[in-house]
């Protein structure tokens, strides 16, 4: 996996997934996002880093239009979103994205293991980005203020 920064689109896997989302028909884009998040959230075995990278990109797309969400500006994000396009995303996707992030940050996650090894501590930009992304999604899921704390990183 080629990773060049800590953002949700800053690796080869996420960039490829975004290309697939961009190339999908508009009617199929929501399904691709939902399937990606569901597969990650429901993984009971060791979570592969590639799955996690795709789910993080999907979660960032879900979070972008929400209050506090970061606009999609990365050159590696789907072109239709960079060019001002949008998706109609049902409210339940925020909850699903939180579940996927919680799975990524849980034990038996290659993404977590790799970033722990790279940083050596829990304080690193990749973890900060995930925490911020989760906070936006958790606050907005189901249209309510949600005050639950994120799970521990280790």
Cα dist from 93 to 41, 99, 129, 146, 147, whole Å: 12, 10, 19, 15, 18
Place of tokens 């911020």: 132
Residue located via tokens 């072109």:
79
- Contacts with 118 (C-beta within 8 Å, 6 or more apart), sequence order: 124, 126
> How much is the pTM?
0.89
Q: Which residues 6+ apart lie within 8 Å of 6 measured at CB?
A: 124, 125, 126, 128, 129
Q: What's the pLDDT tens digit per position in 18-42?
A: 999 999 999 999 999 999 999 999 9
Query: pLDDT tens digits for 91-140?
Result: 999 999 999 999 999 999 999 999 888 766 555 889 999 999 999 999 97
CA distance 143 to 8: 23
């Amino acid at each position: 996996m080629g990773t060049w920064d800590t953002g949700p689109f800053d690796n080869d896997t996420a960039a490829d997934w975004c290309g697939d989302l961009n190339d999908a028909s508009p009617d199929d884009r929501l399904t691709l996002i939902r399937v990606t998040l569901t597969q990650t959230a429901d993984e009971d075995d060791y979570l592969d880093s590639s799955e996690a990278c795709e789910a993080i990109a999907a979660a960032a797309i879900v979070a972008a239009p929400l209050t506090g969400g970061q606009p999609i500006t990365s050159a590696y994000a789907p072109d239709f979103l960079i060019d001002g396009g949008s998706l109609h995303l049902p409210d339940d996707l925020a909850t699903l994205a939180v579940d996927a992030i919680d799975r990524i940050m849980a034990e038996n996650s290659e993404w977590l293991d790799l970033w722990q090894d790279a940083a050596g501590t829990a304080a690193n930009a990749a973890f900060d980005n995930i925490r911020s992304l989760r906070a936006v999604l958790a606050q907005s899921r189901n249209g309510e203020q949600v005050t639950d704390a994120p799970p521990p990183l280790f």
